Structure 1
């Protein structure tokens, strides 16, 4: 009789779970912004993919009956595809009510960049979940990656070199080979590739290939960005990283990062914007926090804005900040932000 041999293998999915909390302060102040307009969370990373919560205080569409709000989960990664399940819920900050699930998907679905995957839902205004005129939203996302098969046999490891795609694209930009569009930025000329710009920025895509874009256009004039900022923007588009700013000292480096946030906001470069927010967060001080707060408020940098508010309302700093010239200028130019500072300081006292 021949001897029977047995072997086993195991197929297991790679699952990564993450939670993001989105807090909307001054909820009733946000009401009335208009049907179809939304408040966006900071893009958050789960398993290497970026997501955003979009909340419509007046609803995404006009409703005939009832006072409704809407919420959606936006897949914010570029040129990506992933399977994921999710649950979005309202949280009672007083912990008297059970969380209210307003959007969920138990079985994983495919999220794509192109065409964009949309998931959203309408629900009655969440009055019961407001506390101190603020609303807290939690979002759980479970990313399911490719299944991995483990076999009970000897395995050989092959060292895979790191990706050099960004280096290749960076060299392509540097060499200027096969470029098909030029940008004139305050007298300085920059050469680029339309397809790369459109792939990385929806704004460039609309300008170059959209209904209003001219596909044959080869020269574009950029008037409101300085050449070094536009050069850094192109560098990020091609390499997914900021250029070295080691040659810039103190205020010069800070000013460049501020201008990069403006450029990232203008061209919808979400990852670049978050990276710049992170840099400014690490360098907050009494002298610059009010100007950075104004910048964060104007360009919808929610993470940076929260960091500035937390810095200002710290008991060991608030008196110095309030006594600064920057704070006086903030009161004159953007009084609405002072309300945010007051509300944050009041909550800190309660805690």
Structure 2
């Protein structure tokens, strides 16, 4: 659920540079959007930025190229800021603006700020259904088929009483500490051998994060009595990334082949029932979808039961201009060979 604030109305104003006490500023985050590639997207379908941190909370930017579908706004770009951190509420000032063709903040009506109480359970996001008309966007902000949105967030803390004051406390650093624990050999009590590489870990950490590891390492299975376990059907690189996620709860750097790496990591997440990692991989794969990759990503979604990612890929395929190109890729040939029934679903989506 989200609230809408019309550009130029309500609590939204032009941004100011004045700072207030009790606030945490996040570094501005840029979202470069391939505008031409989004023309297949339906009204109400969003393109999401990567999650980013500001003021100790996680956020993302949601862009609807053909409006968010809440009102008659399909001639407008809709932009919303969404709080991702669960079980919390926070007051924040945020501002969003577009860059023009010269790489400067656009002087059209594309630069707005707003104060809002974000509540993850009731009202996770807010923004503008009519942020900018597509005609103005294409005239002033479209550069080589791309547009760039900048978002900055200031979290407003409760201002302490001048008499009682408050005791400052740092942001959570459990991920940093557990990550350091993984990098050391302190307290390790199990190791995994994959090919010629060995990885050391802590049974209780793995068991707390994965029900599969819990059954293997703390249950009645044979692995529970072993100090060294040999793993098959997973590469050292993928296992390393999975371990980093399990200790830090953050998606690691993916290297030079992110799409291929994400597919392997999603397979590992499915194998060890790491649902959050599986969703993060699925979202990242969707963020990088293209006519060249969609068949491969769809096969991955079908193989590992990622229903939402599968449906998005089918919708992408259903667009005629995408279908004509995607069916000529090697990935499509492999998709049909591996999952012949997918042709029926594609025809149903395309209405043929």
TM-score, normalization: structure 2? 0.53
| Alpha-carbon distance in 2 for matches of 1:336, 1:221 | 36
The CA deviation at 1:219 is 0.6
1:48 aligns with 2:86: yes
Structure 2 partner of 1:321:
326
* Distance apart, 1:46 and its partner CA: 8.6
Count of residues in Structure 1 that have an aligned counterpart in Structure 2: 201
CA deviation vs aligned residue, 1:162-217 (integer Å, no higher than 9, x gap): 01111111111101111000100111011000010000000000111122244331
Q: CA deviation at 1:275?
A: 0.6
Deviation, structure 1 residue 289: 0.8
The aligned runs of 1:59-138 (5 Å cut-off) are: none
What is residue 271 of structure 1 aligned with on the other side?
276
Please name the residue that 2:232 is paired with: 223
Q: Is residue 194 from structure 1 mapped to residue 203 from structure 2 by the alignment?
A: yes
Report the equivalent of 1:209: 218
Q: Deviations over 1:103-155 (max 9, x none)?
A: xxxxxxxxxxxxxxxxxxxxxxxxxxxxxxxxxxxxxxxxxxxxxxxxx9976
Change (3 A) 1:47 1:257: closer
Match of 1:174 in 2: 183
User: Unaligned regions of 5+ residues in structure 2, if any?
Assistant: 1-82, 88-120, 122-160
Of the three residues 300, 315, 339, the one matched with 1:334 is 339
- Structure 1, residues 91-110: CA drift from partner, whole Å, max 9, x if none? xxxxxxxxxxxxxxxxxxxx
Structure 2 Cα separation of the partners of residues 344 and 235 of structure 1: 38
Per-residue deviation at 1:260? 0.2
Shift of 1:331: 2.2
- The answer as to whether partners of 1:206 and 1:213 remain within 8 angstroms in 2 is no
Work out the CA distance in 2 between the residues paired with 1:161 and 1:325. Answer: 51
SS for the counterpart of 1:243 is coil
* Secondary structure of 1:183 counterpart: strand
Q: 1:156 aligns with which of 140, 150, 165?
A: 165
Per-residue deviation, 1:315: 3.0
Q: Deviations over 1:14-69 (max 9, x none)?
A: xxxxxxxxxxxxxxxxxxxxxxxxxxxxxxx99727xxxxxxxxxxxxxxxxxxxx
The Cα of 1:243 is off from its aligned counterpart by 1.7
Distance 2:181 2:84 in 1: 31
Contact 2:223–2:229, Cα closer than 8 Å, also in 1:
no
Which of 147, 169, 174 is residue 165 of structure 1 equivalent to?
A: 174
Residues 1:325 and 1:190: Cα distance change in structure 2 (over 3 Å) = closer
CA RMSD of aligned residues (A): 2.6
Cα-to-partner distance string for 1:210-254 (whole Å, 9 max, x where unaligned): 222443310100121111111111101110012223xx33xx221
CA distance, structure 2, for counterparts of residue 230 and residue 164 of structure 1: 23
Where in structure 1 do 4 or more consecutive aligned residues deviate above 3 Å? 152-159
2:350 match: 345
Kindly state the Cα deviation for residue 319 of structure 1 after the two structures are TM-superposed. 1.6
Q: What is the CA-CA distance between 1:340 and the residue it aligns to? A: 1.6
TM-score, scaled relative to structure 1? 0.53
User: How many angstroms apart in 2 are the aligned matches of 1:305 and 1:342?
Assistant: 14
Please give the alpha-carbon distance, in whole angstroms, between the structure 2 residues aligned to 1:339 and 1:48: 38
